[in-house]
Every structure is written in structure tokens, then in C-alpha cells.
Amino acid sequence: MPIDTHRARFAQPLPLAWASAALALMALPASAQQAAAPPGQPPDLQACLKITEDKDRLACYDRQMTGKAMLALPPSPVAAQADTAQPGEPAQTVVAPAGGTPASGNTPPDEGFLSRFWELAPGDKRGTFNYTAYRPNFFLPIRGLREINQHPNSPSRGVANNLPKYQHFETKLQISLRTKVLEDVLLPNADLWVAYTQQSIWQTWNHEESSPFRNTDYQPELLYVVPMPTGLQNLPFDWKWGLTSFGLVHQSNGQSDALSRSWNRAYVSFGAERGGLNANLRIEAPLAKSNDKYDDNPDIEHYLGHVQAQINWSPGRSIASLLWRPSFSGRGSVELNWSYPVNAERPDGLRWYVQAFHGFGETLLDYNFKQTSLGLGLTIFKF
């Protein structure tokens, strides 16, 4: 209702409001007006059954039980569960997932995570152009490295020299957002999304070199997310196949000459869940360049492979994830993330964040450099 309508309603003088109520009472049938129970007498609900009009019969019930007509509003889910609780038993708590519809008290908070996150079911749809988180948004001010890539190189760009003297302690930060641009397109409940992720490596504590940014990767992405039909969802061991998505992604570091890195790829991914676990399998195909001399990193797939597997686990307030990129060349990488709320009563807010990485490709600049790192900081868990 528009704000000016609210003002018009509450701007009526008090006598006029009482007069309106009196006129409404006079307009009721005589049977409804006389149905109120006298003071001190038990309510006579049988008298209300004779009234044929629904609204008049409801007003009769109100007066019998309370002595006055009331506007009945639907109870909140919490109130409804409190009313149905047995004497001596606590009411169930309704858990409202962040950005989703309230779950019933008997449903674990993690049930249906994929549907809430990707808005797969009609009840989870939130429309277009609502910006939400995509990958984790984190700030790791303390991050230690086992080795530092002081001479980045690639077959087509050669070796980069004369770089600042980098330290083994630095900061890592990531910003990742997404928005739906088309809803219910082509297939039932399927949506088209765009996403953007930016990850930076910052030599915060390297004051001798004026705290430079060592690398920043920029990654725009286009995703078409398709929820699976009910008949195809059931998998072995009680897993549910929730979605299949198709994507195009570009990734580059915006550098020039020997430090330039970029690649484009298409992928198909499959998402499934089981209770507090959800998993994603992604198969990628690099898009070839028209000429090898424009390829900043022609051998990148030998280090990063063509497959990415991720599993997320949420036992209680903790959230843990394992990301694995296997490679037939024996390279690849593994990344472990863990978070816990700063305020235990707000698990969808600010959280402590730990990230461990081992292998190749933590950044585009280091795609062919084996790295082991550990970072500590904070993340915001919102979607």
C-alpha cells in the first residue's frame, strides 16, 4: 500500500473513526448484533451458526469470545507452532535460511540449500537483478607462503625479472557477486545468471617495497542454471541431484608483457546434496585462441586440469569446504576452507575464516608454480 494511503487512513479524526465503527455495527443483521454474550455469561456459539454471511458470522464469533469485533490476521509461523505445542513442551523453532523462505520446524536448516542458493523451486524465486554473494567474500590479512614466485614465467611470455622483493607474508582478499538477469527462460524454472569475482594478493606488510599488489585476477562469468525434474533427482545413498548448469568464464590478471595471464573456458557442472552435505562436479573445456602468440599461458590446462570437484559440509554452525582440481599430469591442487560465526547467534553474518592451499594455480600468475599457503581472516556469509 502506498505511503500516502497509510497517512490518509491514520489522519481521520478519532470521532470520525468511532462513527464509522458504529455505522458498521448498525449495518450488521439483527441476528449478528444480538449474538454477543451478556457480561458474565458463557459464550453462545450456536447463535452464530444461524448467520449465513461469512463476514457477519465471523464478527459474531469475535463478539461472543471477546465482546468486540476484531480483525483476524494469520498467525506467524512461530506463533502457530507455539499454539500447537503440547502443554509442557517447548515450541519448535522456525529456522529462516538467509535469503530464503522459512523452513518448517521439522526440517534441518541445511535441507534444500541448493534450491535456496540458486532459486530452483518456484517458492525460492526472488526475481531478477538482486545482487547476492557467489563465491566466498573474504579478507585474509594474515597469509603465510612456503615459497614466493619471484620469477613468474610462461612458454609464450618468457620470464619476468626485476620484480619487487616480495615477502612470504601477505594479504589475500576476494569479492564475488552474482545476479539473475532472466528468470524461467527456455526450460521450467531455469534462470540465466551473471557473476563477477575479483581476487587480489596484496603485500600489505612489505613496507620496504611500498606494499604493492602482487597480482589481481578478474573473472566475469555467465551461467545458465537448470533445476532437475523430480523424476531424475534421486541418486544412490539418499543423494539428490539438484541442478545442472552451463557456463562461460573469462579470467585474466590485467597485466602486460611477461606478467600477462588469461584464459577462457566453457563448462558444465552438476550439483547434488544430502542433508548437511552438498557437492559440485564441474567439467571444463578451454576455448582455443585464434593464434598461439596471443595465448599468455598455452600450457595452463596441464597444471589445472579439466575437472573441479567441491564438497561442502555444514556441521552445526561451522562450514567446511574442500575444492580439488585433479590433473592427469600429477599436478592440480587442493584447497580447504573453514568458517565459524564471530557471533554464534548470527551464523549468516560475519565469520572467522581459514583457508589452506596446496598445488598449482592459486592465482593466474602462479598457474605453473607449486605453492603451499595458509590464510586467516574474516568472511561474510550472505546469499
- From 31, 156, 200, 252, active-site residue: 252
* Partners of residue 347 on adjacent β-strands: none
Q: Is 250 a catalytic residue?
A: yes
CA dihedral 155, 158, 164, 170 (to 10 degrees): -10
How many angstroms separate the CA atoms of 105 and 79, rounded? 12
Maximum Cα–Cα distance across the chain = 97
- From 250, 302, 306, 358, active-site residue: 250
Q: Is 302 a catalytic residue?
A: no
Measured in residues, the chain has a length of 383
How many angstroms separate the CA atoms of 119 and 157, rounded? 43
Active site members: 250, 252
